[in-house]
Amino acid sequence: MTYKMLVSDLDETFLNDDGTIHEENVQMVKRAVAQGFKFVPNTGRSFESVQEMLKKLDLYNQAGQYVISFNGSAIVENKNNRVIATQDMPISLAKQIFAAGLINDAVDVHIYTLNQLFIYNVSDSDKKYLETRGATYENLRSDDLSFLDTAQPIMKVIFEHPDMQVRHQIHDAVIASVGADQVEATYSSDRYVEFNFKGVDKGTASLLLGEKLGITQDEIMAIGDNNNDLKMIQAAGLGISVVNGIPAIKEAADVVTARTNNEGAIAEVLNQFVLMGE
């Protein structure tokens, strides 16, 4: 099978744990792209937060190269960050999610609009994590969300807490409030529980981009490590888990890498399935 596109999660998949890029990943992505292959970051984060990474890969401000952001809520062409598709969340739903998920005062909340990140009650650990990812945000001093009525489209709402049991409690509280038929709920980075509008996920966005580019499902590879990568891995022609992925992702994948994210797992995949060891 000839693969034409790899959609790749970033944190704990393409990036090292400290947010840097393994040099072998950099070189192999450049070689694959030079042959006409598409390397598409498919991340829960904003497309604006990955611009420095794109520069290292020679994908910055390039026509015909793309980023999928916010767990599939936006597809952006790198040239001038041209948004080619969005699937945003109703403001009323975002407010309801926000209120329901604040189950204690140790929980912090991210609200992503198309071009801005707002965080309420940001924790010290979250601050440090976001710094390693180059993420900028506006610190919300109040839980009054009336400003959203005139804000840009809302991409997703997520909650941060280091305890998985608390994240499960947040998940259950939000679902009880808004209903499972209103949101896509996922977990990521061993710290977040994320909520997108129903039907929005990394998998549907990958197939939509493929359709726009004339790339079939069978010609798409997807690689990830965590719960929010599951539908992407299931949707692709070849679903891949990094070896450090959670058990559910490794079980769903067609292939599990030998290398971890810290050892250049993406280079391994490109060498095996695209560059064929050349």
124-163 per-position pLDDT tens digit: 999 999 998 888 999 999 999 999 998 889 999 999 999 9
pLDDT in tens, 228-260: 999 999 999 999 999 999 999 999 999 999 999
Tell me the backbone φ, ψ of residue 250, rounded to 5 degrees.
-65, -35
Would you place residue 278 in the very low, low, confident or very high pLDDT band (cuts 50, 70, 90)?
low
> Residue 263 and residue 46: Cα distance in Å, rounded?
25
CA distances from 135 to 48, 53, 64, 191 (A): 8, 12, 25, 16
pLDDT digits (tens, 9 = 90+) for 172-196: 999 999 999 999 999 999 999 999 9
- pTM, whole model, 2 decimals? 0.91
Listing from the earlier edge strand, what are the strands of the sheet with 192-197? 138-140, 117-120, 108-113, 154-160, 192-197, 183-188
Token digits for 245? Answer: 């992925």
